[in-house]
Structure 1
Amino acid sequence: MSTKTVLILLIVALSSCNHKSQTNYIQFIDQKIGTNTSTTLLADGSQQIQAADGQTIIGISAPFGMTQWTPQSQSGQQKCVAPYYYGNIYTEGFRATHWLNGACEKDYGSISILPSTLSQELKFLPTKRPTFSLIYFEDISPAYMSVGFVQEQLLTEVTGSKRCGLFRFSWLAPVDPVIMIYINNDYDKGFIHIDLENQEIVGYNPVSKFYRNKGESAGIAGYFVAKFSMPINEYGTFGNFEKEKGSTTRKDQRQIGAYVSFQPENSEPILLKVGTSFTSIENARKNLETEIEDWNFNATKNKLEKQWNEMLGRIDIETTDSLELSKFYTALYHSLLHPRLMSDVNGDYPVFNAADRIQNSGEFNYYDDFDSWNTSRAQMPLLSLIAPEEYKDMIASLLQKAKDGNWLPASPLANNFTMASTGDYTSSIIADAAAKGFDFDYKLAYNYLKKNATDIPTAGELNDGKGRPGSESYLTNGFIPLEEPLMNFPQTESQVARVLEYSYNDWCVAQLANRVGENADYNTLLANSMNFTNVFDEDREWMNGCYADGSFVTDFDPDQAQPFFNNRTSRQYTWYVPHSVPTLIELLGGKAQFEEKLSSFLNSAQYKHADAISQHVPYLFNYIGDWATTQKLVKAILTREYGADVGGLSGHDNAGQLSAWYVLSSMGFYPTCPGSNEYQLSSPIFKKATLHLNKKYYSGKRLILSTDQEAKSIIFNQVTLNNKTIGNSITHRDIQLGGELHFSKKQTYSKE
């Protein structure tokens, strides 16, 4: 019998013993979805023009966990390179990752763990680490993973908790088994130490800034403590491409790491548990001692499975289509990974945008990695429905960042300001939470939202990612002229894109101003929210670039990508007026011309569903009374743009935004304008969907969305809420009160 055959049998045997048959929601998740190049189609039926990766990974962690554990197929922490891509048969170990799932950012503060044997060459050199492996995909869930290393005759199993990971290494015939831990730092920074007295390895990976000032400290680090289930035998460290047996410490060298070996008896598995933290090694140890107290692998796995099943079970889907179950619960899983928990079990967290300062959050959990430009549109609104307790703490975290950083961050990542956003979408998130009635200090929040909207940041503040670029011209002229490049930002122009986005952001801030009784501010902000009209070219009937004298670009093609549209086209950006669609209809010449242009856009390759700026657009037909077309388009996108395979996402998932669109749209409703408390209806693709709601926030306790039959391609013409016929939208109050939203099909349909 070959070594490979023996290993496969070992995988099957161990997995059968240790991974009980699931009978609940977790069994429907397929973590392969979105882990490689897109295989979906464009609106015109053609293949994606450019290869687009979902950028998702296989991740073991709790919902919104601090750290995910993933097989590593890509080394380093480069921007837009995920630590894992499906199809690579070589594994470089298992990474404790802080990858923004589905995004084009970079990992930070990560370490990797690679099991091997001393009888073979120690794989301390990066070029030697790739190891032929078999990932047992049938057994993977968010709570468990098993990977076989053929040459080493080794099965690695992984489970974990919110802040910690637990590994079980089973060698078929262990000969000097060894475990390596190495720091993934691209700037030759980091620390690792073998503590022989406590039989553990500790260390940290410093985090550098993302955009401007690359390489400079971000003021945080990924700290860890690793403990083993048996005594360490041999040990050593490596760095600068050299290893030293018997050494215990390395710091600030290239590719540093440590290794320890063991002498198990009777093929006894070796267990490793790792605590992580963003504040200190001591708190990483506290996190580990609290979350994984013993060495009971199965108990830890079962506890994590229970957490996921409870969270996923907040939406119950009834359908006979197994592929749709897989797509739905995988999308729901992807929607529940971010924002990331950043505080420790004792409440300690790193102060936002501050060098190595620690505070205590007290009564709330502190979160980070919001990717607000994307997630404000669907993912955060989804969390407000199904994870309101966590969502409340996320809002508290955003306000804490504003207090600590003296500006409300537009898109906080790695606990710092960034320049990743062309708009001010944290304002949208907070205004939406206030409109829904979540409890926080509205006046305090408004002061920070107003500062973003009305204060002009200095050049130094802009360079740090604070405030709105181009705000002086925007506030003075009502637009940002093309002569004013925004040189300090990754998007050096994007003037028109910012005018459109700031207009919506101002509308959101205005809603909060009204709520706190700032009537004069409300009127001013509401007037500013109409600034999008200043970049509408009446002659060409599209949004267009505008010069300081008020004239528009004459060499104009609505299908040509332009820097002032953030390298998108006018046809793609013109529709971004979610807060004032009736005004847009009027600007475009009325309902007939609006419908013609909208249909042309949505049925062309110009519509890129993975681009969040366009994801509300299929629902705009509702605003002209054409609910049938909204349903038709949404259901076509659900089929065309989402698959049940590795290429099943049409672009980056962006911290769960693309997946959240699927979750909400497949149930039949979507928040086209967060902050308005209104959801536009499409219709469900399932026979029945039940939202089990937290009664503390939703007195009705549940909302049922039902149809007369399986509805994947059916276009309905009547909807009732608690037996009363309604139009093509519902309110957040309707969801709070609960009941049943029922979709049916009569003999005739009218657009009116």
Structure 2
Amino acid sequence: MKHVLIPAVLSLAVLAGCRDDNKTASNKPASEATFDVAQQNPPANKPDEAAPPPVTPTDTKPPIPEWKKLDLTGYVDPLIGSDEVPPSDVPGSTEYLLGGFTAPTASVPFGMVAFGPDTPSLSTPWSPSGYHYPSKSITGFNLIRLSGVGCYSGGTVPFLPATDASQTSAVFDHGKDEIAKPGYYHVKFTDTNVETDLTATTRTGLAKFAYPAGSNALLKITAKTNSIGYGGNLQIDTATQTVSGSATGGGFCSNGQTYPVYFFAQFDQPFTGTASGASTTLTFAPAATAGSPTVVGVKVGVSYVSIDNAKDNLQKESSGLTFEQARKQADAAWNTRLNSIQVTGGSADDLKKFYTALYHSLIAPSVYSDANGDYMSFSSNSKKMTTEKGRTQYTTFSSWDTYRSLIPLQALLYPQEVSDMMQSLVNDAKQCGPNGKTGTFPMWVEGNTNSDIMPGDGASIIVAQSYAFGATAFDTAAARQIMLDSSSGTTTTCRNTTTLPGLAEYVSKGYLVQGWGKSTATSASTNMEYASTDFAISRFIAALASKDSQLVVGSEPEAATGLLKRSGNWANLFNPDWKNMAVQPAPQPQPRNADGTWQSYVFRKDQDTYFREGNAEQYTYLVPHDIRGLFRMLVKDKNASAGSEKDALDRLDAFTKPQCRRAEPLSMDRQ
């Protein structure tokens, strides 16, 4: 792990400053600037005057302090992102995806387990993480969930402490009875006075349930996944004080693919109870001391492979730990990761925002393999694989959402873990092709399932990025071949999901034709994604050949040269005759027909018409690999201002900084 010390003020004022083309020391050109002669030739000191003290420069940079570990977990607020954005903050919007979809869970960095509360399901506003801050009740505490995603998933095997057998939820108050910290969650129910404390290791969850004196002490366990409602099975062994079983997870974004999740729970108190299908209600005896609360502790091992592996995970990670020891261990794990970047200056709120964001960036990808190295193949739920010694298999790859910034950050800070993540994608591709052959990289990985909910081949981009940012310890030769085969159309699928639909057309025409199928309804933005993928693959291939920077263009393999040229296909969406398109305000990518003609200009009809979760102006800037070419494309009058960057810079000011808008900003909805 690398430590990056940043002795910089956190204030965003410097970064948010407007570009000012006229901000100079003088209105005169440098050749005509005048100087104060007295300043250039100051008078000598008189004999009876002491020389003035030396002037201490005021603009010198402060010395970089020596690195030492700080206590940073206190700056993290896991509840940030779990609320909804009030509709008034988004004028005119009918969007119901108004939130960060995070959840306050007990977990460790990149952990398999995310032990946390579920609130009642809502149809709108959407709460796919399973936790919705405005809710005032909790339906259970489950072991696995996703954070920050836009489709329902997780909520696996909920535990609900209750005082009445008919109880299906409990009431709580955020302000008085809820505490969320990295690796720890606490809540006290206001209707039953039951208190819950949660913490976790990588593959196990630990809980304490404290029931008030004189009340029933019940614990309801359901072997199901809340997000999709699939059931499972469980077994009770009162002699060993254990409950074990499995639930069905998956179905992410309605992809129709599922996987099993196994669990093994060890209690520290005897109980009675029987299993009824996929659920049970355990009853615990009152505390031995009259008037004392009944406190029940449980440790739960989780595995994607088997109940035996879940039990093994528990024994290896938490069997010798008390709850407080596990909690301190989780806090230390988070604090170590947060210390990867130390910042100075700024207010307490600035530090909270920064370290909460860094905390959220370390939740996924998540561990998939067990402590013994076992994991399930990406080809099916019946074939078990084992990692190479010293490696970990990962899941939860949202490549389209993460290639822009998350993966480069993780690769820079944690090259060892990210190398394992990239090897995981290589392993997935080797296992997911038809008839046992190698396929493409998967697109959106949950468990061992693949979803095509987002376009493009983002996985190839993050593999190339990881290598560029220092995570290089993976099978790069295999990754190169997977990229070459997918970019040429030699391989097209991973677990029956097509990765680059319309690739042949994109290659032959230089653009994707607008259509109305799942793969072509957002042709304009998908075309931009394909061009970015071409560039990433070309630089990865060139880097492997030369062991030099990916950005060096010169003598390189033919495949890299061809893909580099093809990465210019983004420009084929910019209509040179845009001024004659009704209401089009400026050069922007636009959908094209099969005969090469352009469709009527559209800025945005809805989020998935022509552009995936965006609009024409937003996707205009998705050319990170050819900024100079993009700036040339954005010149409005090529005869009057050929080569000028002013049009592009004005566009960026108008788009990103409303307070910097020029006299005639673009007329378009920026929501």
- Map Cα deviations across residues 256-295 of structure 1 (whole Å, 9 max, x no partner): 4443433431235211111111111111111111111136
Given the two structures, how large is their TM-score scaled by the length of structure 1?
A: 0.69
Aligned pair 1:433/2:473, yes or no? no
> What are the equivalent positions in structure 2 for 1:58-207 lying under 5 Å apart?
58-75=104-121, 81-99=128-146, 101-108=147-154, 110-117=156-163, 120=164, 122-123=165-166, 128-135=167-174, 139-185=179-225, 186=228, 188-207=230-249
Aligned residue number for residue 370 of structure 1: 397
Aligned pair 1:594/2:633, yes or no? no
Give the aligned residue type for 1:228.
F
Aligned pair 1:455/2:455, yes or no? no
Relative to 1, partners in 2 of residues 1:454 and 1:212: Cα closer, same or farther, differing over 3 Å? farther
Shift of 1:400: 0.9
User: Whole-Å Cα distance in 1 between the matches of residues 658 and 401 of structure 2?
Assistant: 23
Relative to 1, partners in 2 of residues 1:221 and 1:163: Cα closer, same or farther, differing over 3 Å? same
Aligned residue number for residue 442 of structure 1: 476
Aligned residue number for residue 525 of structure 1: 563
Aligned residue number for residue 31 of structure 1: 78
User: Whole-Å Cα distance in 2 between the matches of residues 191 and 519 of structure 1?
Assistant: 54
Query: 1:264 touches 1:270 (CA, 8 Å); kept in 2?
Result: no
Out of 366-375 and 413-422, give the one that drifted further.
413-422
User: Whole-Å Cα distance in 2 between the matches of residues 263 and 77 of structure 1?
Assistant: 40
User: Which of 572, 581, 587 pairs up with 1:534?
Assistant: 572
User: Whole-Å Cα distance in 2 between the matches of residues 145 and 53 of structure 1?
Assistant: 21
Shift of 1:457: 5.5
Relative to 1, partners in 2 of residues 1:457 and 1:386: Cα closer, same or farther, differing over 3 Å? closer
User: Whole-Å Cα distance in 1 between the matches of residues 330 and 613 of structure 2?
Assistant: 43
User: Whole-Å Cα distance in 1 between the matches of residues 538 and 459 of structure 2?
Assistant: 14
Aligned pair 1:469/2:501, yes or no? yes
Aligned residues: 552
- Map Cα deviations across residues 366-415 of structure 1 (whole Å, 9 max, x no partner): 11111110111111111112222211211111111111112211232232
- Map Cα deviations across residues 655-679 of structure 1 (whole Å, 9 max, x no partner): xxxxxxxxxxxxxxxxxxxxxxxxx
Aligned residue number for residue 347 of structure 1: 373
Out of 391-400 and 568-577, give the one that drifted further.
568-577
User: Whole-Å Cα distance in 1 between the matches of residues 616 and 412 of structure 2?
Assistant: 34
Aligned residue number for residue 419 of structure 2: 392
Q: Give the secondary-structure state (helix, strand or coil) at the position aligned to 1:192.
A: strand
- Map Cα deviations across residues 643-702 of structure 1 (whole Å, 9 max, x no partner): xxxxxxx99xxxxxxxxxxxxxxxxxxxxxxxxxxxxxxxxxxxxxxxxxxxxxxxxxxx
Q: Give the secondary-structure state (helix, strand or coil) at the position aligned to 1:81.
A: coil
User: Whole-Å Cα distance in 1 between the matches of residues 561 and 88 of structure 2?
Assistant: 44
Give the aligned residue type for 2:247.
N
Shift of 1:141: 0.7
Structure 1 unpaired stretches of 5+: 1-21, 239-249, 606-628, 631-649, 652-752
Shift of 1:48: 6.9
Q: Give the secondary-structure state (helix, strand or coil) at the position aligned to 1:293.
A: coil
Structure 2 unpaired stretches of 5+: 1-68, 433-437, 546-555, 579-586, 636-643, 662-669
Give the aligned residue type for 2:426.
L
Query: 2:460 touches 2:537 (CA, 8 Å); kept in 1?
Result: yes
Aligned residue number for residue 28 of structure 2: none
- Map Cα deviations across residues 160-199 of structure 1 (whole Å, 9 max, x no partner): 1111111112223044411111133445431111122322
Relative to 1, partners in 2 of residues 1:436 and 1:313: Cα closer, same or farther, differing over 3 Å? closer
Query: 1:67 touches 1:163 (CA, 8 Å); kept in 2?
Result: yes
Given the two structures, how large is their TM-score scaled by the length of structure 2?
A: 0.77
> What are the equivalent positions in structure 2 for 1:290-305 lying under 5 Å apart?
290-294=316-320, 296-305=322-331
Relative to 1, partners in 2 of residues 1:602 and 1:53: Cα closer, same or farther, differing over 3 Å? same
Aligned residue number for residue 550 of structure 1: 596
User: Whole-Å Cα distance in 2 between the matches of residues 177 and 321 of structure 1?
Assistant: 45
Shift of 1:46: 6.1
Relative to 1, partners in 2 of residues 1:203 and 1:463: Cα closer, same or farther, differing over 3 Å? closer
Q: Give the secondary-structure state (helix, strand or coil) at the position aligned to 2:282.
A: strand
Query: 2:106 touches 2:182 (CA, 8 Å); kept in 1?
Result: yes
- RMSD of aligned alpha carbons: 2.8
Relative to 1, partners in 2 of residues 1:350 and 1:463: Cα closer, same or farther, differing over 3 Å? closer
User: Whole-Å Cα distance in 2 between the matches of residues 327 and 40 of structure 1?
Assistant: 22
Shift of 1:23: 7.8
Shift of 1:563: 1.7
Aligned residue number for residue 315 of structure 2: 289
Shift of 1:237: 3.2
Aligned residue number for residue 478 of structure 1: 510
- Map Cα deviations across residues 707-739 of structure 1 (whole Å, 9 max, x no partner): xxxxxxxxxxxxxxxxxxxxxxxxxxxxxxxxx
Query: 2:130 touches 2:155 (CA, 8 Å); kept in 1?
Result: no
> What are the equivalent positions in structure 2 for 1:303-342 lying under 5 Å apart?
303-342=329-368
Give the aligned residue type for 1:207.
G
Q: Give the secondary-structure state (helix, strand or coil) at the position aligned to 2:196.
A: strand
User: Whole-Å Cα distance in 2 between the matches of residues 462 and 141 of structure 1?
Assistant: 38
Shift of 1:301: 0.9
Relative to 1, partners in 2 of residues 1:67 and 1:474: Cα closer, same or farther, differing over 3 Å? same
Query: 2:368 touches 2:393 (CA, 8 Å); kept in 1?
Result: yes
Q: Give the secondary-structure state (helix, strand or coil) at the position aligned to 1:287.
A: helix
Q: Give the secondary-structure state (helix, strand or coil) at the position aligned to 1:421.
A: coil
User: Whole-Å Cα distance in 2 between the matches of residues 139 and 213 of structure 1?
Assistant: 35
Query: 1:74 touches 1:81 (CA, 8 Å); kept in 2?
Result: no
User: Which of 279, 282, 297 pairs up with 1:271?
Assistant: 297
Aligned pair 1:510/2:548, yes or no? no
Give the aligned residue type for 1:223.
Y
The structure with higher relative contact order (CA 8 Å, sep 6+) is: 1
Give the aligned residue type for 2:524.
V
User: Whole-Å Cα distance in 2 between the matches of residues 109 and 284 of structure 1?
Assistant: 18
Relative to 1, partners in 2 of residues 1:505 and 1:133: Cα closer, same or farther, differing over 3 Å? same
Relative to 1, partners in 2 of residues 1:81 and 1:153: Cα closer, same or farther, differing over 3 Å? same
Aligned residue number for residue 62 of structure 2: none
- Map Cα deviations across residues 199-250 of structure 1 (whole Å, 9 max, x no partner): 2111111224335652xx53x2111111111112x21234xxxxxxxxxxx2
Shift of 1:600: 2.7
Query: 1:236 touches 1:260 (CA, 8 Å); kept in 2?
Result: no
User: Whole-Å Cα distance in 2 between the matches of residues 463 and 395 of structure 1?
Assistant: 18
Aligned residue number for residue 676 of structure 1: none
User: Whole-Å Cα distance in 2 between the matches of residues 374 and 497 of structure 1?
Assistant: 14
User: Whole-Å Cα distance in 2 between the matches of residues 194 and 59 of structure 1?
Assistant: 26
Query: 2:524 touches 2:610 (CA, 8 Å); kept in 1?
Result: yes
Q: Give the secondary-structure state (helix, strand or coil) at the position aligned to 1:86.
A: coil
Query: 1:98 touches 1:109 (CA, 8 Å); kept in 2?
Result: yes
Q: Give the secondary-structure state (helix, strand or coil) at the position aligned to 2:331.
A: helix
User: Whole-Å Cα distance in 2 between the matches of residues 528 and 41 of structure 1?
Assistant: 44
Shift of 1:512: 1.6
Give the aligned residue type for 2:453.
A
Query: 1:74 touches 1:92 (CA, 8 Å); kept in 2?
Result: yes
User: Whole-Å Cα distance in 1 between the matches of residues 79 and 399 of structure 2?
Assistant: 25
Give the aligned residue type for 1:53.
G
- Map Cα deviations across residues 331-383 of structure 1 (whole Å, 9 max, x no partner): 11101100011111111111113232211112211111111101111111111
Query: 1:212 touches 1:463 (CA, 8 Å); kept in 2?
Result: no
> What are the equivalent positions in structure 2 for 1:611-650 lying under 5 Å apart?
none
Relative to 1, partners in 2 of residues 1:62 and 1:40: Cα closer, same or farther, differing over 3 Å? farther
Relative to 1, partners in 2 of residues 1:40 and 1:581: Cα closer, same or farther, differing over 3 Å? farther
Shift of 1:430: 0.9
